[in-house]
Structure 1
Amino acid sequence: MIQRHDANHQGRDFFVGDVHGQLALLQTELEAVGFDRKRDRLFSVGDLIDRGSESLACLSLALEPWCHAVCGNHEMLAFDALLGENRGSPQAHDAWMINGGTWAMTAAHGEVRAMLQRALPHLPYAREVMVEGRRVGIVHAEPPADWRDVMPPSQALLWGRTRIMKGDETPVKGIDAVVVGHTIVQRPMRLGNVHYIDTGAFNTGKLTLIEARDLLREDA
């Protein structure tokens, strides 16, 4: 449900916004910062898949030892359609397709299901990472008012937009900072100690990749 990561004393940590099947764009951003897969770590706010044609390859990133993603609402839509209690139902299938799952129509159905099954154990609802002595939480959409309430998971973790719609700057208690995606913003922004980094890569061509230390400097 939640995975915790100690500080990275060998390299750097980066946060990346919703990738949505834009593997080439992600690779370009990683190359631009000289990302070292043996020392650096990439933390994703989820939604690796959908809307982009390279979604299957992006989903496989969850299996890489240097990539640490949380579950997004799009991974959950795929789960509901392919593996959940309502798998095979027209409602679950249509909900996924309407929200960008049409890429799966051009891939082998069994291959998509198998990759999703392998990836999901590596996609917890939340992560927590130590960065320069500070605790940074990661969820896809919206954290609870108190980080201690992040488990058991709620729908808000995957779908919530209440905080950003209200412009709520109340800091999340019990954590130094939280990084989220889900809601597209023109540029990375912060409300209280919550950082929004989804810049709509699938239609803007802008994928936000930010080093963890730089993100925390914004809070200083």
Structure 2
Amino acid sequence: MQIHKNIPANHKGQDFFVGDIHGEYDLLLTTLAQCQFNFECDRLFSVGDIVDRGVDSIACLELLHKPWFYAVRGNHEEMLLADEGSELARIHRNAGGEWFFQCSSQEQSRLKALVEQYCPFAFTIESKFGDIGVCHASSPLYWSALQNAHVDNIELLKDCAWSTKQYQQVKKGEVFHINEITFVIHGHVNCARVTTNLNQLWIDTLMRTRRLTILSAQQAYMVIA
């Protein structure tokens, strides 16, 4: 299991960030076209939950093979990886994951291997705006905790993929800073609009608005600058 991955700066094009895609492959391509995304030199970073609920989770997973697409692991990817017969697998079936259980065991194994190979829990992306963190749900107060995390840091990784605590704190008016990183981008929370802390952004707008939020690195930086 890869927990964290450093991504070097993109000197040829722009970096973009997309909220939870949830199987909406066609909507993603339409939204990228609206953003004038250049598949030759731009990069797209997903905050996780690329599968379930929508009509084409497999096509979204196949994007992991593309050189321009990167995704961290969300709670829906965690459910996909769960052992057959486990409580988490049962939850997955009832949370938009029916498509997965209709796949053959061979196909399920192939899709699990894709997630394992390509989806760490967090990225640190070098940019001209500073280092940008990406993880699905919430961040430790010191980013290096994720950069240096091990598989036995179970609570940290669970919070990273599942916790809404930080988002709920921000919704109540609390503010706090994530140290050792310029800003962090998350999904997971079904927000009606981009929601910000001092240097965090939650961009998971699909379920509430039926629109995917895609922000360039510059747009994200301007939101929190």
Q: Same fold (TM over 0.5)?
A: yes
Alpha-carbon separation, structure 2, partners of 1:171 and 1:203: 27
Gaps of 5+ in 2: 151-155
- Contact conserved, 2:61 with 2:114, CA < 8 A, in 1? no
Q: What is the aligned counterpart of 2:157 among 154, 157, 172? A: 154
Corresponding position of 2:118: 122
- Contact conserved, 2:200 with 2:224, CA < 8 A, in 1? no
Q: What is the aligned counterpart of 2:209 among 181, 204, 209? A: 204
Moved more, 52-61 or 18-27: 52-61
Identity, % of aligned pairs? 31
Moved more, 97-106 or 5-14: 97-106
Q: What is the aligned counterpart of 2:130 among 127, 134, 137? A: 134
- Contact conserved, 1:21 with 1:202, CA < 8 A, in 2? no
Deviation for aligned residue 1:65: 1.0
Alpha-carbon separation, structure 2, partners of 1:202 and 1:186: 8
CA offsets per residue over residues 76-127 of structure 1, 9 Å max, x none? 10100xxxxxx22153431111221012244444223312212321100100
Alpha-carbon separation, structure 1, partners of 2:55 and 2:101: 10
| 1:28-39 equivalence runs, <5 A | 28-39=30-41
Which residue identity does 2:111 align to in structure 1? M
- Tell me the secondary structure at the aligned position of residue 157 of structure 2: coil
Deviation for aligned residue 1:154: 2.2
Gaps of 5+ in 1: 81-86
Alpha-carbon separation, structure 1, partners of 2:160 and 2:63: 21
Alpha-carbon separation, structure 2, partners of 1:206 and 1:159: 22
Which residue identity does 1:204 align to in structure 2? T
Which residue identity does 1:61 align to in structure 2? L
Q: How many residues align?
A: 213
- Contact conserved, 2:73 with 2:115, CA < 8 A, in 1? no
- Contact conserved, 1:131 with 1:213, CA < 8 A, in 2? no
Alpha-carbon separation, structure 1, partners of 2:80 and 2:87: 12
TM-score normalized by the length of structure 2: 0.89
Deviation for aligned residue 1:202: 4.6
Alpha-carbon separation, structure 2, partners of 1:172 and 1:119: 27
| RMSD, matched Cα | 1.5
- Tell me the secondary structure at the aligned position of residue 24 of structure 1: helix
Deviation for aligned residue 1:72: 0.5
Alpha-carbon separation, structure 2, partners of 1:202 and 1:24: 16
| 1:56-205 equivalence runs, <5 A | 56-80=58-82, 87-89=83-85, 91-150=87-146, 151-152=149-150, 153-167=156-170, 168-199=174-205, 201-202=206-207, 204-205=209-210
TM-score normalized by the length of structure 1: 0.91
CA offsets per residue over residues 114-164 of structure 1, 9 Å max, x none? 122123211001001122140110000000011111123521000011111
1:213 is aligned to 2:218 = yes
Shift in CA distance, 204/218, structure 1 to aligned 2, threshold 3 Å: closer
Corresponding position of 1:51: 53
Which residue identity does 2:159 align to in structure 1? A
Alpha-carbon separation, structure 1, partners of 2:198 and 2:182: 10
- Contact conserved, 1:49 with 1:58, CA < 8 A, in 2? yes
